[in-house]
Amino acid sequence: KNEVEQSPQNLTAQEGEFITINCSYSVGISALHWLQQHPGGGIVSLFMLSSGKKKHGRLIATINIQEKHSSLHITASHPRDSAVYICAVRGADGLTFGKGTHLIIQP
């Protein structure tokens, strides 16, 4: 079964800082998903990646298939970015979620 590890588990930063959240997995996958879970519980899909890099606004996601690793970057972070960021991978054994990274951006 695929093991999905996210780091850090918790991250507190100041507004404007560049943020990096990491996701590693143990078994080859066909796709990786980054999700954002708001404090109220709602989930928003950010990116779906199978290779390379994607950018949307201040968010950038990269994936290295050989190293089984993905990163989510937030540039010019803002308090409204405060949320739990979840990595989910699609492999032969189905869809596996990470535990999430709890991000707090302080003004």
Partner 1 sequence: EPEVTQTPSHQVTQMGQEVILRCVPISNHLYFYWYRQILGQKVEFLVSFYNNEISEKSEIFDDQFSVERPDGSNFTLKIRSTKLEDSAMYFCASSEAGYTEETQYFGPGTRLLVL
Residues that bind partner 1 (CB under 8 A): 30-31, 33, 35, 37, 41-45, 47-48, 50, 86, 88, 90, 94-100
What is the three-class DSSP state of 65?
A: coil
Min dist. Cβ of residue 16 to partner 1 (A): 28
Q: Which is nearer to partner 1, 30 or 106 (CB)?
A: 30
CA distance linking residue 49 with residue 88, whole number of Å: 10
Computed from CA positions of residues 40, 96, 74, 56, in that sequence, does the dihedral angle turn out positive or negative? negative
Q: Which is nearer to partner 1, 19 or 86 (CB)?
A: 86
Angle at 52 between CA 15 and CA 7, to 5 degrees: 45
Min dist. Cβ of residue 9 to partner 1 (A): 12
Q: Which is nearer to partner 1, 76 or 104 (CB)?
A: 104
